[in-house]
Amino acid sequence: MHEASFTSIDDLTDSQVKDVLELADEYERNGAAYAGKGNGLIMGSIFLEPSTRTRGSFESAMLRLGGNVISVTDAASSSIKKGETLADTARIWSGYCDLIVLRHPWEGAAAAFAEFADVPVINAGDGGNEHPTQTLVDLFTLKKEYGKLDGLSMAICGDLRLNRAVHSLIFALLRFGMDSYLVAPKGFGLPDHVENRIRRTYGVDVQAGDPAPFASLFESGGVDGKSGQSNDTEEVGLDALYVTSTDSHQLTMERSIRRAERRASLLDEDILTLYLTRRQREREQVEEAGSSPYPRVTPDVLRRRAFRQAIVMHPLPRVDEVAQEVDEDDRSRYFQQARYGVPVRQALIALITGRKKWSEAADSLPGKKVASGVGEIACSNAACVFVREPSSASREFFIDLVDKTPGVTCRYCGREVSAAWFRRGEHGTVRRHISKITESDVKGDKKLSLYSTLEDAIADGLKPGAGRDGPSVEYISGREGVSSRA
């Protein structure tokens, strides 16, 4: 993978995120002064899903920097239609441009693409996984509005299950010490793998909160677009993350804050942001269609005490989550938010291509141990690039420890993967139970191999480790399940 690729919000350190925001501010205020920064650069714009704002702002950003763009906007018009693999597409396009921006319907496609590309790859949205550049735009909007990021509060409302922009945003809010209120209709809450990543990476548990302050968001209509009245808080799934930042990547939960105090502070909140998202119908299964209440911002909602100071953001496009009457309210920010996509992506392009230098004080991201899979171990997510096109994705997984409990996830889509045994060292001959992985195994330089079953470990010629192997325990979505031993 090209070291400058940006496929997840976690690929940028906190210092690098700040570099992007600071440079974007310069471009936004005086773009003409930087018109030549992209001279000679060619950006490959590969958008295999519909896009207005992301594609338009990326291409505008490169042109404003003085560079050029070559593009594909439909798989049917490229050799992908003929069966060309993702890996081969990456190899070919690397010879045509200096930077590739990829939007793809498969989760983890950008990370897989970057493994075969010789130029930096930027993730412009990969299925329902992440949309990291949208998160940079969101952070920039907040910074322009309030002059800071820490200490802010955001209510993220709508489809949290399938909205990739929301996933990247929540991870970033945690990193920069912002409180998040997650407000979702019943059945549209955060998926398990996102909650697990929050727990593993940031040490924060998603806690159930009081939906009462947000009930008015559900009084105007349902997800089927029909008008109606509903203030039944049992229909609202509300979670709240309470975190405080002490240092980069050392976030701890503010356990001393009682829920009653949080509810009181919300009602008097001066810097609350309402972030609305549309229902991601294009990623739903047919049988998921329904008409449960869906959050919607109207002028009446904004007159409520809880939201009297709130600005309104939306990654767009909107369907009916924000009434058109709100456009005239001086607290609406979604159109300005979309315009900010140009300077933010200008800054990102300049930094990733080396036309501007990153901060000398860039901090380091915590590393993740990569382990190779053997036998039947694999990701089971039907939308994952590994499942859709195994030839373009390695059988590799991330391993980390939370409270000494190992977590194994697909390196592409982040889903939990069942693993029961591991081998230490490239030529190791001994199997060990997954529960016996230690900090030295995860942080050390020895290679690890993973097996989903005892049969696979035995078939690979491994012998029992010293002492008792222990029970064959498989870790699935953070929960233990004891299986029989061969």
Instruction: List residues with catalytic annotation.
Output: 53-54, 82, 103, 131
Q: Which two tokens stand for residue 324?
A: 């058109």
Instruction: List, in order, residues 6 or more apart from 168 with CB less than 8 Å away.
Output: 8, 9, 130, 131, 132, 134, 135
Cα–Cα distance measured from residue 141 to residue 334, given in angstroms and rounded to the nearest whole number: 9
Distance CA 135, CA 413 (A): 18
Map residue 157 onto helix, strand or coil. strand
Residue 308 phi, psi (nearest 5)? -65, -25
Task: Give CA–CA dist 57/77, Å, rounded.
Answer: 22
Token pair for residue 74? 């439909």
Question: Measured between alpha carbons, how far is 46 from 103 in angstroms, rounded to an integer?
Answer: 6
CB contact set of 22 (below 8 Å; sequence gap of 6+): none
How far is it, in rounded angstroms, from Cα 359 to Cα 369? 26
- 414: number of Cβ within 10 Å: 24
Give the phi and the psi of residue 451 in degrees, each rounded to 5. -130, 140
The 10 Å CB-count burial string (b at 16+, else e) for 212-231 is ebbbbbbbbbbbeeeeeebe
Phi and psi for 237 in degrees, rounded to 5?
A: -100, 105
3-state secondary structure of 385: helix
Find out whether the peptide bond into 317 is cis, omega within 30 degrees of 0: yes
